[in-house]
Structure 1
Amino acid sequence: MVSSAPHSSARHSSARRTVLVSGGGGSGRSTIAAALAREAAGTARTLLLAADDPHRSVDRLLDVRLSSEPTELEGGLFAARLDPQAAFRDAADRLLSRAKPLFDLLGVDPLERDELSALPGAAHLALLDALRTHAARGEWDVLVVDAPVVADLLAALALPEQLDRYLARLIPEQRQAARALRPVLAAVAGVPMPSDWVYEARSWAAAELDEVRAVTDAPGTTVRLVLDAPTGPRAGAALRQARAGLALHGQRVESLLVNRLVPDGGEPFLAGLHLEQQRQLAALRAEWDVPVHGVPHLGAEPGGAALFARLGLPPIGPSGPLPTPWPVEDLREGDEGALVWRIPLPGADRADLDLVRRGDDLVLGVGPYRRTVALPSALRRCTVAGAALREGVLAVRFTPDPQLWPGGR
């Protein structure tokens, strides 16, 4: 058996922890993130990053007005707020300084900082840049992120891989050899050839993306999903699809937190709701292979150490073992006569799957989530023979292409 997985540039210490708190809208992610950070600060220097808080909910929870620069609170807890507009201007400043030779060539003046306004998707880039920046500072042992909903979080986490693929397509490494031939090519073509700054900018961008992926792919980076107390099968289906999307992009779900469970009260309505929530909580625990924790409804908005402690959240400990790389199993000597690429997709539904082979890549889709991954070298000489989803694992069968792999079996 050969193990293979999409490119990973994880280099961070396994002792450092990054916990991304995500889930559905209105599920209480900010409250859970603030409580987790406060609890973690008791034993480690902890930074809480409010990355999806346009209405300053975290400010009210902590009774402080946060800015982009970390504010020190009591007991080793720090907190900061992500400002996508300011982050976009900072990133644009760095990019425009790199592109100055192009503006000089065109005879135009670059935009001033005050003229810049965040473009759609800038919040995703701002989140990634904040993860990279705070990890590089190395001042905290634990980073707790009040992250966006799962769809937006995955859109951000998928960006480095996507942008790296675009860079490789637009300015491949091999093309850098053309720099030595630029004078000759310019004379033949009759037009100026790209100068060194184009290739330097490509190397700079690739290095920046590698730094981001070193955080998102690090052994200590995990996701905690928050679910509002389940009320029906649709919530469970959306949750399973979210987990499959996270697995598709190599993100590990550490635990599931079921929020706002009502207590067992004497009133018939509350008693019935309590029984139904407990029934669905038990069903989730039977279905999921990660810890499922119930979080009580406090009857009031949490705030302060006493109320946060009543939530009873599991502490942030070691991240646990890394997921098994996507293995390629060689069955050519058996009855199947094929190589099988096994891709763990817990929670995926067969009806939501999409699979397309494009050259040396495989485009995988799970509902709204998509990812393009490079095929392992052995599978590039094969053709796709079929696929099956069983017990949360997608098995893609390949058969050797006689023209590329003489001898077949």
Structure 2
Amino acid sequence: MAGARILLFTGKGGVGKTTLAAATAARLAVGGHKVLVASADPAHSLGDVFGRPLTGEPSEVDTCLYAAHVDARGLVDKAWQDIRRQLRTALAGAGLDDLDAAELTVLPGVDELLALTEVARLAKEGPWEVVVVDCGPTAETLRLLALPEAVAGYVERLYGSGGALAGLAAHLGALRRLLVDPAVTSVRLVLTPERLVVAETRRTLAALALRGIRVDSLVANRLVPRARTRLRGRASIPWRGPAASWLRTRRAEQDAVLSELDASTPLRVHLVEHRPAEPVGIRPLLELAGELYGDADPLDAPFGGDDVRPLLGIRTLDEGGYELTVALPLTDSSELDLARVGDDLAITVDGVRRLVALPVLLRRHAVTDAAVEDGGLVLRFEEQA
């Protein structure tokens, strides 16, 4: 097998992503897949969900199910010896002092790159069919997923495509290709049905789309259960009292938020109700997965989705010129900025910026109009005089 399928679970801190990642992994294992669930979250609460200690080495927690904590600091002397040597050589050539292993770990982004490198290694070299990753909160995850492209760009500008850091550049390029391959890697965004959380989720969707990283589904966790009715004879009578009133009011608020979210994205939103106790251990996790996935495999199309739109779509206009659609999940509140940088288009959405290479056909054309439509950002190009 060339490599494993990778599912990345992320969301705002406290929404339950670790539990849902573990539940998904447990369900996949019961379905016959050999699965590794790995925590790349510095908080490392995955062991608490399984009710057992975990280390950086994958250990079996149930049949076909393995778990591990990705320890970036411990990987410096184990997984990145070659890259560290190249970095030392390059820094020496620039007139800087040599770095030891401890100093390397405090360089910005190195911990995150190490964690991502280890996930990629496990997916490629391990015996698992699926690697489920419990990522950090969304802000950290976005920074993590942007690092391979960003650092590779800096390396190429500073040292060219060859030289002392050629190996590092190749490594980062491989990581980037792994992340943007929709047949291999996808993100599942976990949220709670609150307006602030949903607003962050929308920004995250746009940021991941800019990076070319596929989001296959959304999971709305911790919905307040609906107030039940009770039977009196043959009549169904709603529960009354302050508790029942609070449940109805809170669930109505959550339903309204989810209705707005559902209308703003083509992604399916899966619902999970709040449970009276935290699911700890395999059996409670499988019960939770049953509520989320029903009888389906978590990798099946109803959950993973088959519709993967390219970031850029181009068509010729009858009246002349071209129309370029950038497939971004934008809303009326999205802060959008556009700039032309040579043959690239600099797109910034809610503070996240990416240079998008224009198709060769449009490089001698100028942007004459821009609009936000259902399909994303629509730009009109006309040939420069």
User: Same-fold call, TM > 0.5?
Assistant: yes
Structure 1 position 145, deviation (Å): 0.6
Q: Could you tell which deviates more after superposition, 382-391 or 111-120?
A: 111-120
Structure 1: distance between partners of 2:116 and 2:62: 27
Residues 101/110 of structure 1: CA separation in 2 closer, same or farther (3 Å cut): same
Conservation of the 8 A alpha-carbon contact between 2:205 and 2:215: yes
Which residue among 122, 134, 151 is the counterpart of 1:134? 122
Conservation of the 8 A alpha-carbon contact between 2:224 and 2:274: yes
Q: Could you tell which deviates more after superposition, 216-225 or 348-357?
A: 348-357
Conservation of the 8 A alpha-carbon contact between 1:350 and 1:389: no
Conservation of the 8 A alpha-carbon contact between 1:69 and 1:80: yes
Residues 53/346 of structure 1: CA separation in 2 closer, same or farther (3 Å cut): same
Corresponding position: 1:330 with 2:292: no
Structure 1 position 123, deviation (Å): 3.3
Structure 1: distance between partners of 2:292 and 2:16: 13
Structure 2: distance between partners of 1:105 and 1:75: 51
**What does residue 234 of structure 2 align with?**
none
- Matched residue type, 1:49: A
Structure 1 position 377, deviation (Å): 1.3
Aligned-partner SS, 1:158:
helix
Structure 1: distance between partners of 2:96 and 2:311: 49
Corresponding position: 1:46 with 2:35: yes
Structure 1: distance between partners of 2:87 and 2:350: 38
Which residue among 362, 368, 378 is the counterpart of 1:385? 368
| Unpaired runs of at least 5, structure 1 | 1-11, 174-198, 403-409
Structure 1 position 295, deviation (Å): 0.7
Structure 1 position 59, deviation (Å): 1.0
Given the two structures, how large is their TM-score scaled by the length of structure 2? 0.84
Aligned-partner SS, 2:176:
helix
**What does residue 58 of structure 2 align with?**
70
Conservation of the 8 A alpha-carbon contact between 1:93 and 1:113: no
Based on CA coordinates, which of the two structures has the bigger radius of gyration?
1
Structure 1: distance between partners of 2:63 and 2:80: 36
Which residue among 347, 355, 358 is the counterpart of 1:372? 355
Residues 390/19 of structure 1: CA separation in 2 closer, same or farther (3 Å cut): same
Which residue among 167, 171, 181 is the counterpart of 1:204? 167
Structure 2: distance between partners of 1:287 and 1:278: 14
**What does residue 201 of structure 2 align with?**
239
Higher RCO (CA 8 Å, separation ≥ 6 residues) = 1
Bigger proportion of residues as strand:
2
Mapping for residues 298-309 of structure 1, pairs under 5 Å: 298-309=275-286
Residues 358/91 of structure 1: CA separation in 2 closer, same or farther (3 Å cut): farther
- Matched residue type, 2:38: L
**What does residue 383 of structure 2 align with?**
400
Q: Could you tell which deviates more after superposition, 69-78 or 94-103?
A: 94-103
Structure 1 position 146, deviation (Å): 0.5
**What does residue 187 of structure 2 align with?**
223
| Unpaired runs of at least 5, structure 2 | 228-238
Encode CA deviations 1:314-373: one digit per residue, 9 max, x unaligned: 242144243235122222xx22x3222210111444651111111111111110211112
Residues 106/304 of structure 1: CA separation in 2 closer, same or farther (3 Å cut): closer
Residues 349/172 of structure 1: CA separation in 2 closer, same or farther (3 Å cut): farther
Identity %, equivalent residues: 35
Given the two structures, how large is their TM-score scaled by the length of structure 1? 0.80
Aligned-partner SS, 2:38:
strand
Runs of 4 or more off by more than 4 Å in structure 1? Answer: 88-92, 99-109
Structure 1 position 396, deviation (Å): 1.7
Aligned-partner SS, 2:363:
helix
Corresponding position: 1:339 with 2:322: yes
